[in-house]
Amino acid sequence: MEAPRLAHTMSSPTSPCEEVIKNLSLEAIQLCDRDGNKSQDSGIAEMEELPVPHNIKISNITCDSFKISWDMDSKSKDRITHYFIDLNKKENKNSNKFKHKDVPTKLVAKAVPLPMTVRGHWFLSPRTEYTVAVQTASKQVDGDYVVSEWSEIIEFCTADYSKVHLTQLLEKAEVIAGRMLKLSVFYRNQHKEYFDYIREHHGNAMQPSIKDNSGSHGSPISGKLEGIFFSCNTEFNTGKPPQDSPYGRYRYEIAAEKLFNPNTNLYFGDFYCMYTAYHYVILVIAPVGSPGDEFCKQRLPQLNIKDNKFLTCDEEDGVLVYHHAQDVILEVIYTDPVDLSLGTVAEITGHQLMSLSTANAKKDPSCKTCNISVGR
C-alpha cells in the first residue's frame, strides 16, 4: 500500500496547492531551519532523544515523484508521530531555505511505514537536482511539536517525462494540429560555412549531433538523442517551403521519400511554445532497427506513419504522398547521417529571421495549450 503523499506545509491564499492539500490527510507545520534549530516564531521545540534519520535512500524516481526511506535508532521510536522533510532545488542548498514566508520547502506527513512516496507536481520538476533532509517529530497535546536533529543532506535528480507524460503532450498537440497540407521535400537551413565544412571534413555527409535543451524541460530527447534537424512546413499559398529562415541563408532540400518511407519509424518527441501564439511539435524519424530507432522505441510514443495528426506518408496510385499539419511548426529529427548528394544546396531569397530560432529555447511554463499537469 502506498504511503500518504506529502504536501507543502503552508501556501499563499492564491496557491494552487490549496485544493490538493484539502484532499490529503496531512497537517500544516511552521518553518524551521534545516540545521535543527527552531525558528524564532516556529513554535517547534527540540527533543534530542527522538531518533535522527540516517542512511537515507532515494528510489523509484520519476519526473514528479520519488520514494524515500531511512534507518533510525529504536530509542523513543514509538513517540514519533510525523516526519518533516526539507526539499530544495540543489542550487539553493546553501542559501536561505525560503525567500517568502508563504513559499515553504518543508513537507510533513504522518509517520507511516517506509519507504514513503513523495509526489506533487507543484514542487517537483523533471530532470532537476534536489537536496533532501529529514527530521522525526512528535506532536504534543497542545499542537506543538518536538523534533529530532536534521539528518544528513542527500542529493538526487528527478527523471525525464515517461511515455505516459509524452502521450499527454501528444494528445494536447493533436487538438491544435489543424488540417493537413501536402509536402514534397524536407529542408535544412544553415550558413554556407556549415555545408563547406561537411564537404571538407565529413565526406559530404551531414552527421547527427546531440539535441539541445529547447522545448519541454522533461523531454527525454534533450541532451541525449543524436539527430539532424529538418523542417517540412510549407507556405499555404504556394505549397513550397518558406523563403525566410532563422538558421542561415543556405538551404539543403531533399525529396521526402529519401528520409521518410515505410522503412522508417515515426515518433512524437515534444510539444511546446516560446511565449508566442504559435506552437512547435518535434517528431523523430528513425530508420527501422537503427540505434536512433532503438533509443526512441524505449522512450517516445510511436506514431502510425500513414495515420497521425502531424506528418504522414501514404501510397496513392503506387506513389508515396506526404502531408503535414498546418497549424503547428514541425521540427523533424532524422537520426542517421545524410549525404548531401541525395539533395541540393541553394541560397534562399528571403530574410534570416533570428527571432524564430528555437536553439535552446525555453518553454513557456504558463501556457495552458502545451503544458501537462506535472512539473515543468
CATH label of the domain that carries residue 151 = 2.60.40.10
Domain count, the chain: 2
C-alpha distances in angstroms, 209 versus 144, 197, 343?
57, 15, 20
Using the structure block, give the residue that is written with the C-alpha cell 536553439: 359
Residue type present at position 133: A
pLDDT at 356: 54
Task: Give the three-class secondary structure for 144.
Answer: coil
Residues 176 and 135 in one domain: no
Residues 130 and 167 in one domain: no
pLDDT at 105: 60
Task: Give the three-class secondary structure for 373.
Answer: coil
pLDDT at 185: 95
Residue 200 maps to a domain:
yes
pLDDT tens for each residue of 215-264: 888 999 999 999 999 999 988 777 787 777 777 789 999 999 999 999 99
Residue 230 maps to a domain:
yes
Residue 205 maps to a domain:
yes
How many angstroms separate the CA atoms of 334 and 248, rounded?
19
Residues 135 and 175 in one domain: no
Residues 86 and 225 in one domain: no
Residues 76 and 109 in one domain: yes
Using the structure block, give the residue that is written with the C-alpha cell 506533487: 120
pLDDT at 358: 61
Grid coordinates given for 51: 531518533
Domain final residue pick, 158, 189, 208: 158
pLDDT at 107: 78
pLDDT at 249: 83
SS3 content of the chain, % helix, strand, coil (to 5): 15, 35, 50
Domain final residue pick, 158, 191, 212: 158
Residues 253 and 125 in one domain: no
pLDDT at 342: 97
Residues 180 and 79 in one domain: no
pLDDT at 323: 96
Residues 328 and 193 in one domain: yes
Residues 181 and 268 in one domain: yes
pLDDT tens for each residue of 80-131: 899 999 888 886 544 444 333 333 467 778 888 899 988 865 568 888 899 9
Residues 143 and 190 in one domain: no
Residues 177 and 259 in one domain: yes
pLDDT at 270: 95
Residue 315 maps to a domain:
yes
211 CB neighbour count, 10 Å cutoff = 22
Range of the domain at 108: 54-158
Residue 127 maps to a domain:
yes
pTM value? 0.78
- Residues 183, 188, 194, CA angle at the centre, nearest 5°? 165
Grid coordinates given for 338: 545524410
pLDDT at 352: 57
Residue 269 maps to a domain:
yes
* DSSP letter (8 states) at residue 99: S
pLDDT at 109: 81
Residues 277 and 187 in one domain: yes
pLDDT at 174: 97
How many angstroms separate the CA atoms of 306 and 68, rounded?
45
Residue 39 maps to a domain:
no
Collect the ranges in the chain with pLDDT lower than 50. 1-33, 35-48, 93-104, 376
Residue 374 maps to a domain:
no
Domain final residue pick, 130, 158, 186: 158
